[in-house]
């Protein structure tokens, strides 16, 4: 017993140091000068592009005068200051964004669109409320989060004001840039929770009201007469709402992001893949629903995304549709098809459901976050039943690696939670007497098994998260097992003979 405890604590320490080692290898250990230079060049290109856009009408002055004239020089000084501020902010808040040249280039392009439209409006005399600042801030909020969108919205509003400015005149710039920024903030907050397409129209009306309020307030504060710009401010908000409603799926596809709308659509059990699963693999369908409620509750407990956890769980085993009868939960009374197969052939068939599922998900255009979950839901875990069966048949000549899933290991909180929920759900069906205390010990043992096997090495879960996840699993499982009350005259769960269940032969899969 003492030896087993020592062995467990040794393996736990090894898992902890592996997690630390992963964290260390993921941290930047040295400055890569070439990559740093490339990122600096992208940053410089973004600043130059903004400068040229703001001063597109001064380009005929030539490079020498452009850099010595007071106004362009002032713009350049301001742009450099803004670039340093934004660069430091993004390096702290979004190191991945600043670390990738392509992502930085996309971000820079998004920032320049309102400035370019503002300058064209200023030169052509069109209303400054044609500037799509709200739409751009909305996209930035979807892609990079609300805090980056708020900061970027402020900076781009400043640059938009500069671009709107006519020589010797500042009022238009000030009275338009401020309302545009106010409307953009409505879009930033709105991007956090979009559960219905109609919600985008609502945000549009809220943005329109804010813009009207600030436009009138700005004109009055500057002692101007009220103009028609207030009407344009309202039109801007409403048209932005209508346009974003129409092009939201394109934005999701182009920027590889998911709103809650598309995830909620996928959580509909009438979705074609889910209907096929219910029809051809009813055991897997039921298993996926239970994994969904386990994962959703656990995701809420640790602050992960519960909707992604639930939808990811629904689709995690769709690859089983290729050969549903080979999976224990779909076996009828005819017995296991694996009895006639060699263990290595069985492992190949079982392991293939991961790759098949990812391919089916890609064909159906499911979001990349769901495809990743399908690929990662088993990590590189061992198909123990077939491994041990092969070992008993062939002795020590069996390679463990041939009986492991292809991976990769879970890389997000949601993928790791689904791996644990999958393991716990599949194995819990074998419990003969699932009292809360037994469930607790059972869930703990399975979770520690995954941890000690190194399956949680690449995900950002902490040990405290792992405890919370286990607690929520026990709560949900207790509720599920408690509701399975035996009818009078039939044996209760504890009385049933603990026959060797089919799941145990291949579970968890």
Q: Which stretch of DSSP H or E encloses residue 211?
A: helix 198-221
In terms of DSSP H, where are the helices of 364-412? Answer: 368-376, 384-394
CB of 329 to Fe ion, least distance (A): 8
- The half-sphere exposure of 12 on its side-chain side, counting CA atoms within 13 A, is 10
Say which residue the tokens 């344009």 belong to: 232
Mark the segment that binds Fe ion (CB under 5 A) among 198-206, 388-396, 416-424, 476-484. Answer: 416-424
Mark the segment that binds Fe ion (CB under 5 A) among 80-88, 261-269, 309-317, 439-447. Answer: 309-317
CB of 380 to Fe ion, least distance (A): 13
Please, which residue, 362 or 433, has the CB nearer to Fe ion?
362
The span from the CA of 304 to the CA of 370, in Å, is 14
Q: Is 375 in the site for Fe ion (CB under 5 A)?
A: no
CB of 184 to Fe ion, least distance (A): 43
CB of 423 to Fe ion, least distance (A): 9
How far is residue 433 CA from its own chain's centroid? 38
Please, which residue, 179 or 508, has the CB nearer to Fe ion?
508
Taking a C-beta distance cutoff of 8 angstroms, is the pair 182, 215 a contact?
no
Q: Which residues contact 216 (CB under 8 A, 6 or more apart)?
A: 226, 230
Helix then strand then coil, % of the chain, to nearest 5: 75, 0, 25
Mark the segment that binds Fe ion (CB under 5 A) among 237-245, 312-320, 441-449, 482-490. Answer: 312-320
Mark the segment that binds Fe ion (CB under 5 A) among 198-206, 214-222, 264-272, 417-425. Answer: 417-425
The span from the CA of 243 to the CA of 438, in Å, is 55
CB of 316 to Fe ion, least distance (A): 6
Binders of Fe ion: how many residues, by CB under 5 A? 3
CB of 498 to Fe ion, least distance (A): 23
Mark the segment that binds Fe ion (CB under 5 A) among 7-15, 61-69, 266-274, 311-319. Answer: 311-319
Mark the segment that binds Fe ion (CB under 5 A) among 139-147, 317-325, 360-368, 381-389. Answer: 317-325
Please, which residue, 296 or 422, has the CB nearer to Fe ion?
422
Site for Fe ion in 168-187 (CB under 5 A): none
User: Between helices 133-144 and 229-255, what is the axis angle to 10°?
Assistant: 30
The span from the CA of 113 to the CA of 245, in Å, is 20
Mark the segment that binds Fe ion (CB under 5 A) among 37-45, 78-86, 421-429, 451-459. Answer: 421-429
Please, which residue, 380 or 467, has the CB nearer to Fe ion?
380
From candidates 296, 317, 329, 331, binder to Fe ion by CB under 5 A = 317
166: β partners? 169
CB of 317 to Fe ion, least distance (A): 4
Please, which residue, 354 or 398, has the CB nearer to Fe ion?
354
The span from the CA of 12 to the CA of 18, in Å, is 10
> CB neighbours (10 Å) of residue 119?
23
Site for Fe ion in 119-178 (CB under 5 A): none
- The helix/strand count (H/E) of the chain reads as 22, 0
Mark the segment that binds Fe ion (CB under 5 A) among 142-150, 219-227, 418-426, 439-447. Answer: 418-426
Please, which residue, 43 or 324, has the CB nearer to Fe ion?
324
CB of 105 to Fe ion, least distance (A): 38
From candidates 422, 458, 465, 503, binder to Fe ion by CB under 5 A = 422
For residue 81, give the 3-state DSSP assignment: helix
Q: What is the DSSP string of 133-171?
A: HHHHHHHHHHHH-HHHHHHHHHHHHHHHHHHHPBTTB-H
CB of 308 to Fe ion, least distance (A): 16
Please, which residue, 284 or 470, has the CB nearer to Fe ion?
284
Long-range contacts of 447-451 (CB under 8 A, 24+ apart): 447/420, 447/423, 448/8, 448/12, 449/423, 450/379, 450/381, 450/419, 450/420, 450/423, 451/12, 451/15
CB of 377 to Fe ion, least distance (A): 6
The span from the CA of 231 to the CA of 247, in Å, is 24
CB of 358 to Fe ion, least distance (A): 11
Please, which residue, 215 or 509, has the CB nearer to Fe ion?
509
Instruction: Write the interaction track for Fe ion spanning residues 72-111; mark x where CB under 5 A is met and - where it is not.
Output: ----------------------------------------
Q: Which residues bind Fe ion (CB under 5 A)?
A: 317, 422, 509
């Amino acid at each position: 017993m003492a030896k087993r405890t020592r062995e467990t604590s040794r393996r736990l320490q090894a898992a902890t140091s592996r997690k630390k080692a992963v964290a260390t290898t993921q941290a930047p250990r040295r400055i890569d000068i070439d990559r740093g230079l490339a990122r600096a060049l992208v940053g410089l290109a973004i600043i130059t592009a903004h400068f040229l856009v703001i001063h597109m009408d001064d380009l005929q002055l030539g490079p020498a005068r452009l850099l010595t004239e007071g106004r362009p020089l002032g713009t350049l000084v301001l742009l450099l200051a803004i670039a340093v501020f934004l660069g430091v902010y993004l390096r702290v808040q979004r190191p991945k964004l600043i670390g990738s040249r392509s992502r930085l280039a996309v971000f820079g392009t998004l920032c320049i669109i309102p400035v370019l439209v503002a300058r064209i409006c200023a030169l052509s005399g069109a209303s400054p409320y044609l500037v799509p600042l709200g739409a751009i801030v909305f996209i930035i909020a979807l892609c990079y989060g609300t805090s980056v969108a708020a900061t970027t919205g402020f900076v781009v509003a400043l640059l938009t004001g500069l671009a709107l400015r006519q020589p010797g005149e500042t009022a238009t710039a000030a009275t338009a840039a401020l309302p545009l920024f106010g409307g953009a903030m409505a879009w930033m907050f709105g991007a956090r929770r979009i559960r219905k397409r109609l919600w985008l129209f609502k945000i549009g009306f809220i943005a329109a009201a804010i813009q009207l309020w600030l436009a009138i307030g700005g004109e009055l504060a500057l002692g101007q007469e009220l103009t028609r710009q207030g009407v344009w401010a309202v039109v801007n908000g409403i048209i932005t709402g209508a346009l974003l409603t129409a092009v939201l799926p394109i934005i999701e596809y182009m920027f590889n992001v998911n709103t809650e709308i598309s995830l909620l659509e996928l959580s509909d059990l009438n979705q074609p893949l889910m209907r096929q699963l219910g029809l051809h693999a009813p055991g897997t369908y039921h298993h996926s629903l239970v994994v969904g409620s386990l994962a959703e509750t656990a995701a809420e407990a640790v602050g992960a995304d519960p909707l992604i956890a639930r939808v990811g769980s629904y689709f995690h085993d769709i690859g089983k549709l290729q050969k549903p009868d080979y999976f224990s939960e779909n076996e009828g009374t005819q017995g296991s098809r694996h009895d006639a197969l060699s263990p290595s052939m069985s492992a190949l068939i079982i392991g293939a459901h991961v790759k098949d599922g990812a391919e089916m998900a890609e064909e159906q255009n499911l979001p990349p976050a769901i495809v990743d979950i399908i690929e990662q839901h088993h990590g590189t875990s061992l198909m123990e039943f077939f491994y041990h069966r092969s070992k008993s048949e062939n002795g020590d000549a069996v390679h463990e690696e041939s009986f492991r899933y292809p991976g990769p290991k879970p890389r997000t909180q949601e993928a790791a939670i689904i791996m644990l929920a999958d393991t716990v759900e599949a194995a819990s069906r074998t419990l003969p007497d699932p009292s809360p205390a037994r469930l607790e010990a059972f869930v703990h043992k399975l979770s520690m098994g995954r941890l000690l096997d190194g399956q949680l090495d690449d995900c950002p879960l902490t040990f405290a998260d792992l405890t919370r996840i286990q607690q929520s699993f026990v709560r949900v499982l207790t509720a599920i097992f408690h509701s399975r009350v035996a009818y009078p005259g039939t044996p209760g769960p504890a009385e049933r003979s603990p026959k060797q269940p089919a799941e145990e032969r291949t579970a968890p899969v």
